[in-house]
Structure 1
């Protein structure tokens, strides 16, 4: 096993950009929302740099881009409701699992490690996506961005799961693709591991100084 797993009992994974590439479906729903409001579509490339802080922030960034200014609250609320409805219709049409993910999850599950998902995506989308992609059987718990009063980079979701499973933070590992994952892990007292292929607002995740870095989660086995 990879050195990052030494003495680890619980592994928390980010979802979007770490386990799955969900941008194609997010971008499709977002562009349809923009077009419904008579605004120009953003396209996948821009959406890749906007993902990571939850759905509201994603829609806010898209509106600011399309309008050339910050949207007012009522416009943002309306666009967010529209976006969530459209995304709920097809959250997993073009979303794919990254190479090495299933092999890593299978090996970690065989070692009886506690496996969790901590994402800023709304909780309602997590179970359907994991089930569609055949990943649901690996996880003991999932937390979305709206599950608690705080989300990443706040450490609360990480502390919540460590406490729930009675595991010391020093025996937990946070795996993610962005600076928010690394910051949350560091603040929570978790060990941190990053993957470079996901979404990090156009910045290399290595700049956040994670404890470890792997090109593929397949390196964990």
Structure 2
């Protein structure tokens, strides 16, 4: 893992998982149901397709696929819910502040790259006095959920903002789609296995390294 980090000129960090448990205080299932209801209010046929989905981002993506005239309203509601959620999400993930600090002190640039909204990330960082710890925030492209990870769009944007080649970036993420996006962009990936079952997922996705605690990033750079 140390080799993967030291070979990178910039570190991209996913938000929900490595830095914040976004829906810890406002359950994702509750948000997903509200979004599904908003979609169904405008297109009743969508309720049967969305009612059982518990992931708000999946509701957004499927609404976009089924009826793009409705997805804009769902997007607006999701952004509001995300902003509300991070206000009650609790403290940053254990070890994440140490990780961000160590990355900056090593001379590497940092971007948060996420499928969540840019606004909710900025609110969370400001709330915890972490805004100065990152150089850029690249969130979900408005009204284009098809560009969410595993699409490399956000990672390529982050590399451009940091003025580095995508090949010089390593992404720290907690899902298969993070690993896929990093590789699609031409970079490397460190899987954050915050649940035991994820280790196998990351092995199968060919993550260059796997950690179980965010504090491991700081240790690797010390």
TM-score (norm 2): 0.73
Identify the residue that residue 95 of structure 2 maps to in structure 1: 100
Identify the residue that residue 66 of structure 1 maps to in structure 2: none
Identify the residue that residue 60 of structure 2 maps to in structure 1: 56
Q: Secondary structure of the residue that 2:177 maps to in structure 1? A: helix
Runs of at least 5 residues in structure 1 that lack an aligned partner in the other structure = 61-69
Show the 5 A alignment for 1:68-217: 81-146=76-141, 150-197=147-194, 204-217=201-214
Say if 1:184 and 1:36 are closer, same or farther in 2 by CA, change over 3 A.
closer
Identify the residue that residue 31 of structure 2 maps to in structure 1: 30
Say if 1:79 and 1:108 are closer, same or farther in 2 by CA, change over 3 A.
closer
Say if 1:115 and 1:75 are closer, same or farther in 2 by CA, change over 3 A.
closer
Contact 2:192 2:214 in 1 (8 A): yes
Contact 1:100 1:216 in 2 (8 A): yes
Runs of at least 5 residues in structure 2 that lack an aligned partner in the other structure = 42-46
What is the CA–CA distance in structure 1 between the aligned matches of 2:36 and 2:163, rounded to whole Å? 48
Say if 1:187 and 1:105 are closer, same or farther in 2 by CA, change over 3 A.
same
Q: Root-mean-square deviation (CA), in Å?
A: 3.6
Moved more, 83-92 or 189-198: 83-92
Alignment size in residue pairs: 203
What is the CA–CA distance in structure 2 between the aligned matches of 1:209 and 1:90, rounded to whole Å? 32
Say if 1:34 and 1:160 are closer, same or farther in 2 by CA, change over 3 A.
closer
Q: Which has the higher helix share?
A: 2
Contact 1:22 1:92 in 2 (8 A): no
Q: Secondary structure of the residue that 2:110 maps to in structure 1? A: strand
What is the CA–CA distance in structure 1 between the aligned matches of 2:140 and 2:74, rounded to whole Å? 18
Q: Secondary structure of the residue that 2:111 maps to in structure 1? A: strand
What is the CA–CA distance in structure 2 between the aligned matches of 1:114 and 1:155, rounded to whole Å? 19
Q: 1:180-205: CA deviations, max 9, x gaps?
A: 1111100111111111116x99x834
Moved more, 96-105 or 28-37: 28-37
What is the CA–CA distance in structure 2 between the aligned matches of 1:194 and 1:141, rounded to whole Å? 21
Q: Secondary structure of the residue that 2:86 maps to in structure 1? A: coil
Q: Secondary structure of the residue that 1:97 maps to in structure 2? A: coil
Q: Secondary structure of the residue that 1:96 maps to in structure 2? A: coil
What is the CA–CA distance in structure 1 between the aligned matches of 2:207 and 2:141, rounded to whole Å? 25
What is the CA–CA distance in structure 2 between the aligned matches of 1:166 and 1:9, rounded to whole Å? 10
